[in-house]
Structure 1
Amino acid sequence: MHRSRVYALLIDTPEAEASDAAAFWSAALKAPAEPDPEQGQFTVLHEAVPGIVAAVQAVDDTARYHIDIETDDVEAETARLVALGARQEAQWLECRILRAPGGHLLCVIPVHSDPEFFNSRATSWP
Structure 2
Amino acid sequence: MHRSRLYALLIDTPRDEADQAAAFWSAALGVRAEPYAPEPQFTSLHGGLPGLVLAVQAVDDAPRFHLDIETDDVAAETARLVGLGATPVTQWQECRVLRAPGGHLVCVLPVESAPEVFDAEARTWP
TM-score range, shorter chain: over 0.9
TM-score, scaled to structure 1: 0.99
- Match in the other structure for 1:60: 60
Report percent identity of matched pairs.
Answer: 67
Query: What is the aligned length?
Result: 126
- Match in the other structure for 2:82: 82
For 2:102 and 2:75, the matched residues in 1 are separated by 22
Give the superposition deviation at 1:97.
0.2
- Match in the other structure for 2:71: 71
Give the superposition deviation at 1:28.
0.6
Runs of 4+ in 1 over 6 A off after TM superposition: none
The gaps in structure 1 that reach 5 residues or longer are: none
- Match in the other structure for 1:42: 42
For 1:20 and 1:91, the matched residues in 2 are separated by 28
Counterparts of 1:1-126 in structure 2, within 5 Å, are: 1-126=1-126
For 1:14 and 1:92, the matched residues in 2 are separated by 18
Give the superposition deviation at 1:124.
0.5
TM-score, scaled to structure 2: 0.99
Give the superposition deviation at 1:50.
0.4
What RMSD, in angstroms, separates the aligned Cα atoms of the two structures?
0.4
For 1:3 and 1:31, the matched residues in 2 are separated by 30
- Secondary structure at the counterpart of residue 102 of structure 1: coil
The gaps in structure 2 that reach 5 residues or longer are: none
The letter for the 2-side match of 1:56 is V
